[in-house]
Structure 1
């Protein structure tokens, strides 16, 4: 097993679930069971903090391990600036200080899709790729990470691209939750994804698109249905990318430093 110096804990807070695990930072792999609880209804700060305490207690990780926390919001200097799938109380909230005080320890705090991007650039499908890589996480919403020549461009929020003359934005129309809500087949959902990725490709001309989130474990059901100029591939770490990325940011690494401050 990895030594404490090469291990860290990652916590991935999502709109529907909160997951945590211990990560081997050399291999970029979980070396513990993945612990998960449901995100509290309403996702108010105090309730989310208690859920994070619960997953950490269940995980039984040593207290001396660095801790990284990923959150589904724009994050700048430890403050959350948006709240698409959590309580509006998080808007303008000093989230990093709140968690550090509540957990009685230092943490490293960042956007959930951004940390998934870090996991894929360090250990996964985007490793060694030059040019522009766009990672999207398909789940409750659509998260995104933009990585250029291995460096993260934080807080891209491409899930909120607007649809002309429609009330729902991109994630309201094409997220995995929209597929479940509207009871779509893989084929019908893929048509919505085709619109979304066509839009992203037109705006940014990426060299590679990586698809993460829980549904990526079923990537063979929908990725072959998409026709794009850029290659589109599933994230190597699937739904564990947030945990791995959050843990990797808990220990300073050169390519991550510009992305978190």
Structure 2
């Protein structure tokens, strides 16, 4: 039985747009609707596609929107990998006008973190997809818009690039999965050395490649649906006694 308020959870990525209706406890009501991200991914076609998808999934009372940019107060304030038309756009207001419900918007990695962390200790969330997203929580409190993927990749003998340039999807396709898998544990170790995390969660479309690795005990692979269900936590907060959505 559906129990309100129902949240429409929205996740916009470089290749796909996903929408999912969830109950207030984060349980999905229907399977997610997944569509390709328009190209070019400028604001008007992307927002129109979200609205079109929303019109086909049933009724909802509010929306939680994860977007791959720095988002403050629902406004896109920095969009390194996106069309410049997103800069300064009030995502929550624009989408709210289209959907006719209140919308809360945040960085997509922050939303993924809200969908997976336990709320205990220092928890780092990394998303390995088109780029690298990151989010950090201290005892359940979000430290928003953490862009660890843009830190310099400073290994001896390496070119002066960033973590995202070395581990993003373009790099995986360029060097192949095996070479990419050699780099990911190094990146995780560097983050751990600098941040002393209690737990590191790794999600995103390319996290599945890590399933064959022997990872440290504090590294947990998570399912991609956390990037959607975290939209509920934008409204309800992190639930107590959460079951971590592990990738199996």
1:96 positional shift = 2.0
Aligned residue-pair number: 236
Indicate the residue corresponding to 1:137 in structure 2: 127
Q: Structure 2 regions of 5+ residues with no counterpart? A: 240-248
Indicate the residue corresponding to 2:56 in structure 1: 58
Indicate the residue corresponding to 1:212 in structure 2: 203
Measure the CA separation in 1 of the matches of 2:148 and 2:88: 20
TM-score, normalised relative to structure 2:
0.86
Measure the CA separation in 2 of the matches of 1:239 and 1:152: 19
1:186-239 C-alpha deviation (Å, 9 max, x unpaired):
x31122212321221222111111011123344422x42x5x5x611111xx11
8 A contact 1:115–1:245 mirrored in 2: yes
Indicate the residue corresponding to 2:34 in structure 1: 36
1:85 positional shift = 3.1
Measure the CA separation in 2 of the matches of 1:253 and 1:73: 21
Q: 1:36 to 1:22 in 2, by over 3 A?
A: same
Indicate the residue corresponding to 2:187 in structure 1: 196
Indicate the residue corresponding to 2:172 in structure 1: 179
1:102-141 residue pairs with structure 2 within 5 A? 102-121=98-117, 127=118, 130-141=120-131
SS in structure 2 opposite 1:58?
coil
1:144-183 residue pairs with structure 2 within 5 A? 144-164=134-154, 166=159, 168-180=161-173, 182-183=174-175
1:115-172 C-alpha deviation (Å, 9 max, x unpaired):
1101112xxxxx25x3211010110111111011121111111111112473532112
SS in structure 2 opposite 1:242?
helix
Measure the CA separation in 1 of the matches of 2:225 and 2:24: 14
1:73 positional shift = 0.5
SS in structure 2 opposite 1:200?
helix
Q: Structure 1 regions of 5+ residues with no counterpart? A: 122-126, 256-261
Indicate the residue corresponding to 2:245 in structure 1: none
1:19 positional shift = 0.2
1:178 positional shift = 2.2
